[in-house]
Copies of this chain bind each other. A is one copy, B any other.
Amino acid sequence: MINQTLRDMLQSHGLKATFQRLTILEYLMTHETHPTAEMIHDNLPSISLATIYNTLDKLVDVGIVIVIDTLKDDKRHYDYYGEPHYHIINSNTSEIIDADNFDVTQLFEAARQASGLNITGFHIEVYGVGPNQAK
């Protein structure tokens, strides 16, 4: 049994705790990178690429994982979403940096006021360049 906590995490969202899901989720939780489906598949070659995509879709649906569209390539990057955080993308290197030093409370309240919707989530990507580097 890979990990009872992961098993519970999946089942509490109504997902069966398959070997593939446990493996992919553990991979995302233990790696600082923000891999694409293909990168995950390269590291977990025994799991079919179709299952990598299916699993990521499910994990995103229930909110355990988020998608990052960097605009730096045309691939989706995935990220275990333990605690709310946002992403800073280095336009020179395409590196994706995690950051959590920003309170989204005001943003949620502003969005609720502007739209009248019940806010369920957010994506923030901030782009930057290294000192003395062109955009």
Contacts and interface: CB of A to CB of B under 8 A. Distances in A.
A110 B102 contact: yes
A19 interface: no
Please give the count of copies of this chain that the complex contains: 2
A36 to B, nearest CB: 14
A96 B91 CA distance: 26
Contacts of A90: 115, 117
Given A69-B69, A88-B111, A99-B110, A127 B119 contact: yes
Given A88-B114, A99-B111, 16 more contacts: A67-B71, A86-B111, A88-B117, A90-B117, A97-B114, A101-B113, A107-B126, A111-B128, A117-B128, A117-B130, A119-B127, A119-B128, A120-B128, A120-B129, A122-B124, A122-B127
Interface of A: 60, 67, 69, 71, 86, 88, 90-91, 97, 99, 101-102, 106-108, 110-131, 135
